[in-house]
Chain A
Amino acid sequence: MSGGSQTPVTDFRTPLKRARGLGSAKTGTSHFWLQRATAVALVFLVAWFIGTLVSLAGADLQTVRAAIARPCNAILLASLAVALFWHAKLGLQVIVEDYVHARGPGIALQLLVNFLCAIGALASLFAIARIALSG
């Protein structure tokens, strides 16, 4: 299990070399970091989005479209969509890893999470682009 039981004389590999490829020593740091990076972005983007939604409450379709089509809003909304679905993907992945221990269903669920979040982000970007570019 741990590197402590190995005799230091015969093993010239560093502890890092032994850990690589085992357990969480794969892409755990990247996952951790991306989850935090998207989280920090979302703190601001979600606060902005809630404020925008409140200001648009009760507005008609034309007003909503004009608001989304404004370049600043379109860019922020596109950023929100990417950060949101990316963060959701990373979080749902951990939940599946923690609670689904069967290998087959686990992989199937991870694929489903990946596909759905990718589609969600792309659909949002498509819709925003369509609104913003239709004038």
Chain B
Amino acid sequence: MLGQYYRFQITSVMSLLHRVTGVVASVGAFVLAWWLLAVAQGGDAYTRAAACLSSPVGRVALFLFSLAVVYHLLNGIRHLWWDIGRGYEIPQVYRSGWTVAVLAPVLTALVWFLALRGGA
């Protein structure tokens, strides 16, 4: 495999993940549109959508969407920081990278903790 010949660095892996999470979040955007249509429709349409989203597959999908969105948002702020010309020193790039890598799952877990504690 690639790992035998190529030493992964956090920079390239996070760049790749930014694209992957962007695609996953795009799919999530369509799920959001579908959910909004179901809320607007009400009745059976909403019942079906709610059942679909609270099924095991639906929950896993929602979790993956949330993780992808949180990662993409945090890493996106990192990109915007670079866009204004800051944080380009290699130690800074690694530090911000690890910050995002740690914060993304932690914040996602916090969101789900708050959501599940408050409702359902």
A interface list, Cβ under 8 A from B: 36, 39-40, 42-43, 46-47, 50, 53-59, 61, 64-65, 68, 77, 81, 84-85, 88, 91-92, 95, 116, 120-121, 123-124, 126-128, 130-131, 134
Contact = CB atoms under 8 A, between A and B. Distances in A.
A39 B118 contact: no
Contact of B118 (A47, A58, A65): A58
B42 A65 contact: yes
Contacts of A39: 76, 79-80
Interface of B: 19, 22-23, 25-26, 29-30, 32-34, 36-37, 39-40, 42, 46, 66, 69-70, 73, 76-77, 79-80, 83, 111, 114-116, 118-120
Given A54-B111, A116-B30, A124-B36, 14 more contacts: A39-B76, A47-B73, A54-B118, A55-B118, A58-B120, A61-B42, A64-B39, A68-B36, A81-B33, A85-B29, A91-B26, A92-B26, A128-B36, A134-B40
Nearest to A89: B26
Contact of A54 (B22, B32, B114): B114
Q: Looking at chain A's contact residues, is the secondary structure mostly helix, strand, loop, or mixed?
A: helix
A43 B76 contact: yes
A120 B25 CA distance: 13
